[in-house]
Amino acid sequence: FVAGLGLWLPSMNYDDNSAHLLLPFQLLHDGYYHLDVQTQSWGLAPWANNVLHGIATLLAGHEARAAVNLAWLILGVSGAFRLASALEAPRGAALAAAALYASLPLTGFFTTSMQVDGASAAVLMHLAAGMVSSGRTLPAATHVGLLLGLLAGLKVTNSIYVFPALVWLAWLSVKHKQPGWFLRMGVIAAMAGGASYAYSFAVTGNPLFPLFNSVFQSAYYPATDFVDPRWSTGISWTTVWDLTMHSDRYGEVYPGAWGISPIALLPALALGALNDARLRWITVWFLLSGVIVFAQMQYLRYIFQATAVLGVLGVVALHRLVVPKAFTLATILLIAGNACLLTTTSWMAHQDPWRILLAKGSSALHGIEAEMTPERVLLRRIVEKDDNACILLATPDSPYIGIAGGRAVSVNGSYDLRMAKAFKAARTDPSGGHWRSLLNSLGVSYVVTPVELDPVLRRVLGEDAFARIDQQGQVIVWAHPDPSDRVCTGTLEHDRDEAHRRLHPGDWH
């Protein structure tokens, strides 16, 4: 129940509104995805989860995050149960492993968001369960290929988690003299999960765009490797303790977001791995993979795949080491402790919106959304009344362009490099000339600003007769006197809809 609380909330996550929702809403509005890496530099990153959300959105006729996230949650819980059962845990212990997975604070967080680490963990648990069950025989190539393809389509770093499995499967195919099995599996995986990489290479010249651009040197991004210095604190002998007690050092979370079960189950997991070869190899597989991922960037969410699998293994090991009553008591305490930490996983959860829902019912949802993400609410109101709106979000800290479906651009420096450069130039030009040129070249019909906006921009908006037409919290909407006369086909924007530009060159109706 606790893991599913996020399903009740609107999509208020930062990355959802700035990136993940672009694909579903462009499908809903235009019937195709723009393949636009200029407005959103992560627009061609592995998109399997976004595609699933897009399908659900099209079927529902509106945003349908909860439906897809519920499916991932069920897949994760069933994967935990299946992995524990494959390791010959009795039904009660397997159910406890599934419950422990569901109780992890980040499991609950992933129901509030379109982030893919929870989905990746779910698929990896099914992959591991299948490999345990097949033992030294080759599993079905189609089954393994689809799982590996889905993992590739979800996230690039999943390659680190699946590499040991690929080595094992390659060895088995050689041992059983079936190289064709490995080839078939690889083709199926490429077909299932390779689309985003192919489109990324076709559009930018970098199949992993914007990662490793120092190697591929795409013109769409600086020729450097993507690094976030906030999460480069290094690893020390206190890291496991710090992950538990000082989780806020490893992400936009609060202390406790890792949960209490990962550190609590470590002794049982270590002893269990010593006594059982299958448990030992899976432990080594995910422990080393998790450490390698964490060594690249010390970010809590990126090791959730390892956290989830090792948690299941820890429950199986604990069941073998202690008497049933002690096992039951320990798992109940761990599950309860984890569940109490859901509110540590994000700023949104920390404000406990469920308390408001419990007091006021579902009618409070709009108020919660308006308070936490006013830009999202304002954009929805704009696009509902003006299907041809061209929106500039002059809110660099809130680049929530997702629900505008390709009709909005942001000045955020991490996602839209050209707009960020133009924004910087405009802010340093006291004459207002850069602001006016930017608005005109974009064809902007609406500008979204904070209440405390740049005085030069305020003057330009007034001189050009932009009227203040809406406000939500500390965010304002300004409208051009004739919005219908302006659309997003200005000189700065004409080449951003990559899909339309390639399919219909010269057609900018």
**Domain locations in the chain as residue ranges:** 2-206+245-349, 374-503
Tens of pLDDT, residue by residue over 119-129, are: 999 999 999 99
Whole-angstrom distance, CA of residue 476 vs CA of residue 451: 6
Q: Where are the alpha helices (DSSP H) in 61-208?
A: 65-86, 91-103, 105-110, 117-134, 141-154, 158-175, 179-193, 195-204
- Cα–Cα distance between 153 and 189 in angstroms, integer? 9
**CA-closest candidate to residue 344, choices 455, 253, 459:** 253
pLDDT-derived band of residue 228, with 50, 70 and 90 as boundaries?
Answer: confident
| Half-sphere CA count of 237, side-chain side, radius 13 A | 0
Dihedral Cα 401, 406, 408, 412, nearest 10 deg: 50
**In the chain, % of residues over pLDDT 70:** 97
Give CA–CA dist 102/98, Å, rounded. 6
The pTM (predicted TM-score) of the whole model is 0.95
**Cα separations in angstroms, 433 against 329, 408, 461:** 69, 22, 12
Share of the chain above pLDDT 90, in %: 83
Tens digits of residue pLDDT in 260-317: 999 999 999 999 999 999 999 999 999 999 999 999 999 999 999 999 999 999 999 9
Convert 200-212 to b/e letters by CB count within 10 Å (16 or more is b).
Answer: bbebbebbbbbbb
pLDDT at 507 over 80: no
pLDDT tens sequence across 99-135: 999 999 999 999 999 999 999 999 999 999 999 999 8
